[in-house]
Amino acid sequence: MKKFLIFSLFALLIQSCITSRINSHKLVDQAERYNKLLLLITDSEQDFYEWNQENFDYVIYSRFNHLDTDYERKVIGNALQRNIRPTIIVPADKAFTIHSEVSYADFMNTLNYLEYDAVLLVQIKGLWKEQRIREGDSYFVPRSEFHVFLIDKQRFKNQYLAKINVDGGSGWNNFEEIFSRFSRELAKDLSDKGFILRPAVL
């Protein structure tokens, strides 16, 4: 029991070193509440603006199921599901073969067979480590930037968008903790703006 308490306090201390900044926008007057979100994760460097074939080809095509980011997609997806409950996360990449080319027409056709209320597009704009020096000792802290879009299923129009930065403050921090904080911040903001039910962890 004592060891568990010490471990819990240590984990809490590490998490408290992480900082986050969010700039979000609700793009509709009346938010529709969604119960099941189709999670789409991409690491494209191109900017996403609206749902159409041009943006799909630039931002999503060959990136949403790419082998290089398979681990990040799994960790972010699991973190979101933990932090956004009772809202359900449906990982879009699971409906397609990993590291395969999927055309816009094939992608949209597959979506017709999936159960979801809205698309949650998470664009990883950057993951990097920054060197810091304290009292002559150097260490690296993880930093990140995400762009997020909530897209209505019926008309595929943006309902919400956000820029979220999450930074570690300690050499103990790792990207799994960054993804966890990102997920909590996003879940809270979506709930505050009326798009999802209040998460159970808040």
pTM: 0.90
Q: What is the pLDDT of residue 173?
A: 86
Instruction: Confirm whether 198 is domain-assigned.
Output: no
CB 109 within 8 A of CB 57: no
Domain count of the fold of the chain: 1
Instruction: Confirm whether 56 is domain-assigned.
Output: yes
Q: What is the pLDDT of residue 32?
A: 95
Residue 169 structural domain = 2-192
Q: What is the pLDDT of residue 76?
A: 98
Instruction: Confirm whether 199 is domain-assigned.
Output: no
- Point out the residues of the chain with pLDDT beneath 70: 1-16, 171
For residues 189 and 184, give the distance between their C-alpha atoms in angstroms, rounded to a whole number. 9
CB 188 within 8 A of CB 199: yes
Instruction: Confirm whether 82 is domain-assigned.
Output: yes
Q: Where are the beta strands (DSSP E) in 32-167?
A: 36-42, 88-91, 118-134, 137-152, 158-167
CATH, residue 31: 3.30.160
pLDDT in tens, 59-88: 999 999 999 999 999 999 999 999 999 999
For residues 188 and 171, give the distance between their C-alpha atoms in angstroms, rounded to a whole number. 27
Q: What is the pLDDT of residue 58?
A: 96
Q: What is the pLDDT of residue 64?
A: 96
